A and B are shown apart, each in its own frame.
Chain A
Amino acid sequence: MKAINSKKFGIVLVFLALASFAFTPAPERITVKGSDTMVILAQKWAEVYMKSNPNSIIQVTGGGSGTGISALINGATDIANSSRKMKPTEKEKLKARYNTLGVEVACAKDGITVYLHPSNKVKELSVKQLGDIFSGKITNWKEVGGADQAIKLYGRENSSGTYVFFQENVVKGDYAPSCQTLPGTAAVVNAVKKDPNAIGYGGAAYAEGIELCKVKKDDKSPAYLATAETIKTGDYPITRYLFMYLRNKPTGEMKKYIDWILSPEGQKLVVETGYFPVK
């Protein structure tokens, strides 16, 4: 093996040293994109934070968890809101482009609630029954103790973290082709409100003017509504964390904002918006 020329090696070391001292400047304007489930909460955080920090500009948009994470990977947003964990393939993309594993901040808890029309006789379902309904194995309400009516399914688009979480934890397979996908949880709630035979799912914060279905882990377990208490105790079976993902460890204004979100003041807004605090 040939000895490496020491002069050239010196030049290389100088280059490496210079490159090592380069760093990512903290953004002056913070952009937040992602989960539609979290849009209300993220907007509330931004609104209240900007009031007490008038020099800060925080822009919040939705689009779905997948869209937010893609935007984080391609540099189009500083924070990706996600109602599911980052997938290994997304982590690999982040590694390839930014040489980091990303920073995951659990900022709230949520119970995925199941919406029913108030006139529906069915008031509770097990996780398995829900899976069978949304995968198309159960197609009539009479199969789960309801009226002899065809079940109409409403769900989220596949860029939604709620869609992915519900698929992985409840449906455990493909959604039924008849499941109508809608852009946003509010649209799912509206669709169920208008249709006595409908069933839908989404974040707890959107459940207004609609019947919530009690959910049980299995046939033998008691059924629970998603409340702060049942989510905290883990009795409600479809609970999840809501995350904020960043490319790098937060610094400057970004760190200040994240710290505030996790502070009692920020977590108070979580409860006010209809979600549940992380601590």
Chain B
Amino acid sequence: MYNQKKFKMNKFRFTALMLIFTFALTAKAQEPTTEEKITELKETVNGLLERLATDETDLQKLTKIKVSGYMQAQYQYFDNPAIQPNNYFMLRRARVKFTYEMVDGVKFVLTPEFVPGNLSVKDAYVVLNDRWTKAFSVWAGKFNRPNYEVEYSSSSRELPERSTLIRTLYPNERAIGAKLEFNPLNVPIHFQLAILNGADLMTINNASGTNLNTTENKDFDNYKDIMVRAYYNLPLGNFGGLDFGAHGYFGSLKSNTLKTLSSDYTTIEDVKIGDAVKRNWIGGEFQLFADVLGGMSIKGEYIAGKNASIGYSPVAAAGTTAAIPGVPNFQNNFSGYYVYFIKNLGVKNQFAFRYDYYDPNTDITGKDVTITKYSSPDAITLKSRTSGKSDLATSTFGFALLHYFDDNLRVSLNYEIVQNEKVGTVGALTEDYTKADGTKVVKGLDYSNVLKQNLLTLRIQAKF
């Protein structure tokens, strides 16, 4: 009995063992061999490599597109009682620059600006670099005019705005046209020659006050303006370096009237509609960079010449055939300059000072403004144009303290002391203004004094 039981038990164990063994063998037979595993792995790697090659090709295309930009938000407080509200926050600049370098030597640049309520195109140009000498490049489209302060980016500039002189001569900095640049590889000399529409963003009003120059993308007249700039980088050994050069503007605007008045307010010249009214000026510039106690620079520019604005012809008064006087073209001799002093304070901080001066009319002084002898004598056929506010010089002391958190983030505190040239007599040149509560202050601004025009700006800039 015992043996029978034992035999049954052994038979059961044997069957169980056989089953386990068979199962194990089957299981082993289903597992891939090492060779199979390697082959599978190779196929996987090859597949990944193929995908990587495709991705890399796509990625290389993407690296030809570069996106950069910056945004400046600021708070400003104005001393000027005529500016209401006298303090506010604003988004000063919000630009994204797209650069597409399709092949070596061909570059497309597009910079839209996004500020609340306005979308505009700041830059839109193509650059063709010569691939042989690598010294010449041709630009076409809308780009910065060739001038040091114009071409010095707002994201790098230490003071919030460009000097009064440059803002007056080159409104909005850009112009539409073509430019040839010559930057030889082994000589630190640079030439720029530009041909421009010239009337970009200028307001040219007719008798009704309608701006005739509204088509931003086209010229106002057939005259093209020429700009040239040349500068040289002179190394000064361990001390630093001096960049110096000159630029000139040679342009014309189409006369829209029959007289041109000079800025002495006595010389009046007959012209025809369509004649060229010249705008010519030249300037000298320097930038001294010194590795003195952490780095500093002194930069300056002086420009003088003749600018012009366009008048309009006499037209018939409404409902009659009688002509009313128009406004003559006006050619003003001007001069101006700016000087910057910039000092690095360690790696993160910077101090900057700028003095800038702009005299829009060098033919008369502040004392002479509004005096009758300097008024247009031809009041019969033309509206009498008398000397006034637009003939007064402006000087500005600008101070700035800048802190760089890193390459992307910068905060600056700026204060500008703005001073106008004074007229000779109290009450001779005044303006009304309206206070915040709506009260009108008659003759509240008297240009026989230095008016309150100081300005505080606190700005934060993010750049990428």
Select one of A15, A22, A95, A158 contacting B294, CB under 8 A.
Answer: A22
Q: Of residues 73 to 132 in A, which have CB atoms within 8 Å of B's CB atoms? A: 73-76, 88, 95-101, 103
B289 touches A100 (CB 8 A): yes
Q: Output the least CB separation between B131 and chain A (Å).
A: 7
Select one of B341, B351, B406 contacting A75, CB under 8 A.
Answer: B406
Would A173 and B131 be within 8 Å (CB), given that A19-B351, A101-B235, A101-B289 are in contact?
A: yes
CA distance A75 to B294 in the complex (A): 13
A20 touches B343 (CB 8 A): yes
Q: Which residues of A contact B241 (CB under 8 A)?
A: 101
Q: Which residues of A contact B397 (CB under 8 A)?
A: 8, 12
Q: Which residues of A contact B355 (CB under 8 A)?
A: 12
Query: Could you give, for residues 170-182 of chain B, a 1 whenever the CB lies within 8 Å of some chain A CB and a 0 otherwise?
Result: 0000000000000
Number of interface residues of A (CB under 8 A): 35
Q: Of residues 5 to 47 in A, which have CB atoms within 8 Å of B's CB atoms? A: 5, 8, 12, 15-16, 19-25
B346 touches A24 (CB 8 A): yes
Closest residue of B by beta carbon distance from A18:
B351
CA distance A75 to B292 in the complex (A): 18
CA distance A233 to B103 in the complex (A): 37
Which one of B40-48, B111-119, B260-268, B416-424 is at the interface? B416-424
Number of interchain pairs (Cβ within 8 Å): 104
Query: Could you give, for residues 333-345 of chain B, a 1 whenever the CB lies within 8 Å of some chain A CB and a 0 otherwise?
Result: 0000000011111
- A220 at the B interface (CB under 8 A): no
A24 touches B60 (CB 8 A): no
CA distance A25 to B345 in the complex (A): 9
Q: Which residues of B contact A22 (CB under 8 A)?
A: 293-294, 343-346, 351
Q: Output the least CB separation between B188 and chain A (Å).
A: 8
Would A15 and B399 be within 8 Å (CB), given that A24-B344, A75-B407 are in contact?
A: yes
- B33 at the A interface (CB under 8 A): no
Q: Output the least CB separation between B338 and chain A (Å).
A: 14
Q: Which residues of A contact B365 (CB under 8 A)?
A: 1
Query: Could you give, for residues 391-414 of chain B, a 1 whenever the CB lies within 8 Å of some chain A CB and a 0 otherwise?
Result: 001010101000010110000000
CA distance A158 to B66 in the complex (A): 14
- A209 at the B interface (CB under 8 A): no
Select one of B240, B341, B406 contacting A16, CB under 8 A.
Answer: B341
Q: Which residues of B contact A1 (CB under 8 A)?
A: 357, 359, 365, 393, 421
A99 touches B60 (CB 8 A): no
CA distance A4 to B339 in the complex (A): 14
Q: Output the least CB separation between B422 and chain A (Å).
A: 7
Q: Which residues of B contact A8 (CB under 8 A)?
A: 397, 417
Query: Could you give, for residues 407-443 of chain B, a 1 whenever the CB lies within 8 Å of some chain A CB and a 0 otherwise?
Result: 1000000000101011000000000000000000000
Closest residue of A by beta carbon distance from B399:
A15
CA distance A19 to B353 in the complex (A): 10
Closest residue of A by beta carbon distance from B134:
A168
Select one of B295, B341, B353 contacting A247, CB under 8 A.
Answer: B295
Closest residue of A by beta carbon distance from B417:
A8
Select one of A12, A75, A101 contacting B240, CB under 8 A.
Answer: A101
Would A20 and B296 be within 8 Å (CB), given that A1-B359, A99-B344, A249-B238 are in contact?
A: yes
Would A23 and B294 be within 8 Å (CB), given that A2-B419, A99-B289 are in contact?
A: yes
Q: Output the least CB separation between B392 and chain A (Å).
A: 9
Q: Of residues 361 to 416 in B, which have CB atoms within 8 Å of A's CB atoms? A: 365-366, 393, 395, 397, 399, 404, 406-407
Closest residue of A by beta carbon distance from B355:
A12
Closest residue of B by beta carbon distance from A70:
B407
Closest residue of B by beta carbon distance from A102:
B291
Q: Which residues of A contact B103 (CB under 8 A)?
A: 174
Instruction: Report the interface size class on chain B.
Output: 35 or more
- A248 at the B interface (CB under 8 A): yes
Q: Which residues of A contact B422 (CB under 8 A)?
A: 2
Select one of B296, B348, B395 contacting A2, CB under 8 A.
Answer: B395
Q: Which residues of A contact B235 (CB under 8 A)?
A: 101
- B347 at the A interface (CB under 8 A): yes
B295 touches A99 (CB 8 A): yes
Q: Output the least CB separation between A6 and chain B (Å).
A: 13
CA distance A174 to B101 in the complex (A): 12
Q: Of residues 167 to 211 in A, which have CB atoms within 8 Å of B's CB atoms? A: 173-174, 177
CA distance A25 to B349 in the complex (A): 12
- B58 at the A interface (CB under 8 A): no
B293 touches A20 (CB 8 A): yes
Select one of A19, A88, A95, A96 contacting B343, CB under 8 A.
Answer: A19
Q: Output the least CB separation between B125 and chain A (Å).
A: 17
Closest residue of B by beta carbon distance from A76:
B407
Q: Which residues of B contact A20 (CB under 8 A)?
A: 292-293, 296, 343
Closest residue of B by beta carbon distance from A20:
B343
Closest residue of B by beta carbon distance from A167:
B104
Q: Which residues of A contact B399 (CB under 8 A)?
A: 15
Query: Could you give, for residues 288-310 of chain B, a 1 whenever the CB lies within 8 Å of some chain A CB and a 0 otherwise?
Result: 01111111110000000000000
CA distance A173 to B422 in the complex (A): 61
CA distance A99 to B344 in the complex (A): 7
CA distance A16 to B289 in the complex (A): 16
CA distance A2 to B418 in the complex (A): 13
CA distance A15 to B399 in the complex (A): 9
Q: Output the least CB separation between B244 and chain A (Å).
A: 14
Q: Of residues 240 to 274 in A, which have CB atoms within 8 Å of B's CB atoms? A: 247-249
A97 touches B156 (CB 8 A): yes
Closest residue of A by beta carbon distance from B335:
A1
Closest residue of B by beta carbon distance from A95:
B289
CA distance A44 to B290 in the complex (A): 33
Q: Which residues of A contact B346 (CB under 8 A)?
A: 22, 24-25
Q: Output the least CB separation between A105 and chain B (Å).
A: 12
Q: Output the least CB separation between A265 and chain B (Å).
A: 24
Closest residue of A by beta carbon distance from B401:
A19
Q: List 10 A-B contacts (CB under 8 A).
A: A2-B393, A2-B419, A2-B421, A22-B343, A22-B345, A23-B293, A23-B294, A24-B346, A99-B297, A247-B295
8 smallest CB-CB distances across A and B, nearest first, come from A74-B407, A24-B294, A23-B293, A99-B297, A100-B295, A19-B343, A96-B156, A19-B351
Give chain B's interface residues, CB within 8 Å of chain A: 57, 60, 63, 103-104, 131, 152-153, 156, 183, 235, 238, 240-241, 287, 289-297, 341-348, 351, 353, 355, 357, 359, 365-366, 393, 395, 397, 399, 404, 406-407, 417, 419, 421-422
